[in-house]
Chain A
């Protein structure tokens, strides 16, 4: 017994070091954001003398991170709401209603899961340009919805399959239309899945850079991640401002993680075990 206890601690030490290596880069960045340029150049590792927010305020206001933040919030919110709405509607129909062609449609969604954005990037840019949607918010939202819809439909269908058909039959006997069942039964009962799929989609959209770069060429339409890449070029000599921009971009994800880690992990494993 004591032998296994010692060996457990022997394993825990390197694992602890790895944990440190996992969080240290972000702590380092946070510390740099609180330092002046001079302090950073003189000693990269010393702790900032105090929690100073000048760099972060500067990055938010004068560098434009505030504007980019707002752009990201608007686009991600619109995309996630649409994804959950369309995904739950389709998921309900594909899982609980028998109709001609339903299995073909489901297979179509499954096939679309295996098409990464890189593969359709060129024609997508053409189609969006033809529709006049390049450099517009609706255009970016539409591409995000298209990108993450197969995954959303797939997970919502799997979730709704676990709801017993008797519940729907009962609601139908009570005089609900199919749409009434969707609104009064499926949407409320789908809350846990909608929450978890919604969080994942929000992360995917918030973290994306490739689609945003392709769709939003002008500076005032940048999303936050594109803003960070631009910051790298402009402020390569001003490391504290650069670090502040990175911190602003990471902060919402950090908060989300602190409060909803369970749901994120569940969403990832649901995606993993089901698709």
Chain B
């Protein structure tokens, strides 16, 4: 009988041990590590020196500026799948086909997506060839510091809008169809239906998509950056995650990288706490 009492602990032990040892413990280790030195000062406590270096580092400043850019572009990255999901929900001709085609890039690795767009966006590549025939361009999509970040974010949105679309459609499934029918009978136009019925009805889904899209932009663009621009040209496409990788792997400054990790974690925490509060509300409502 004693064995039976222990059983739940035996069942959870492997998972809990791994999560504690390789997720929670490294987090504490990393924060601690960010207050120690690199190179000659390895292991010595240096207070906030890494953080001071970090915020003076022009590449990290660019990374933070680019995070700001992502926040500005966030409404677009949410509105596009939201609008497309609305049309699919309203059964435009071919809606099933659109749904499965749009979702497809979302399952591809950022590496594959980045490699394909490396081909398409090359200076002597197909997109510029097409633009050339209509008398435009050529644009140095990945080589112009003013353009490259927009190109990479554009590719990221292309690759991930299907994910948000599917989440929106799951939200639509919970929407009261009678409300929509009533609005239609009353002769409401599409913008009116969206504004007065769909947005209020899907507020939880919309908030959720905002948070997950932001998290996706902060944590799943490494593959694209690595393949498409390697942070260039002139360091213009740095994001915190790429900065961490370079400082840890190439520059041999792990303590500085840890400080950048901690800053990224604080950004994520703000986003994550937002998500947790949404989750709690969702649990209460259901």
Residue interface bits B80-98, CB-to-A below 8 A is 1, else 0: 0000100100111110011
Which residue of A has the minimal Cβ distance to B28? A123
Which residue of A has the minimal Cβ distance to B29? A123
**For window 189-238 of chain A, which residues contact chain B by CB distance below 8 Å?**
203, 206-210, 213-214, 225, 228-229, 231-232
A56-64, A106-114, A163-171 - the one binding chain B: A106-114
- Note all chain B residues with C-beta closer than 8 A to A105: 12, 16
If A177-B7, A210-B223 touch, whether A108 touches B16 (CB-CB below 8 Å) is: yes
Bound together, the chains give a CA A182 to CA B4 distance in angstroms of 13
- Note all chain B residues with C-beta closer than 8 A to A92: 11
Residue interface bits A13-48, CB-to-B below 8 A is 1, else 0: 001101101110110110010000000000011000
Bound together, the chains give a CA A238 to CA B248 distance in angstroms of 32
B66-74, B138-146, B238-246 - the one binding chain A: B238-246
The answer, among A147, A250, A261, for a CB contact under 8 Å with B100, is A261
Which residue of A has the minimal Cβ distance to B272? A114
**For window 238-275 of chain A, which residues contact chain B by CB distance below 8 Å?**
239, 242-243, 245-246, 249-250, 253, 256-257, 261, 264-265, 268-269, 272-273, 275
If A118-B222, A178-B8, A275-B279 touch, whether A22 touches B22 (CB-CB below 8 Å) is: no
Q: A59 → chain B, closest Cβ, in Å?
A: 12
If A9-B93, A23-B104 touch, whether A239 touches B119 (CB-CB below 8 Å) is: yes
A interface bracket (residues with beta carbon within 8 Å of B) = 35 or more
Number of residue pairs spanning A and B whose beta carbons lie under 8 angstroms apart: 265
- Note all chain B residues with C-beta closer than 8 A to A134: none
Q: Is A81 an interface residue (CB 8 A)?
A: no
Residue among B12, B16, B27 having the largest count of chain A Cβ atoms under 10 Å: B12
Contact yes or no, A269 B167, CB < 8 A: yes
- Note all chain A residues with C-beta closer than 8 A to B125: 44
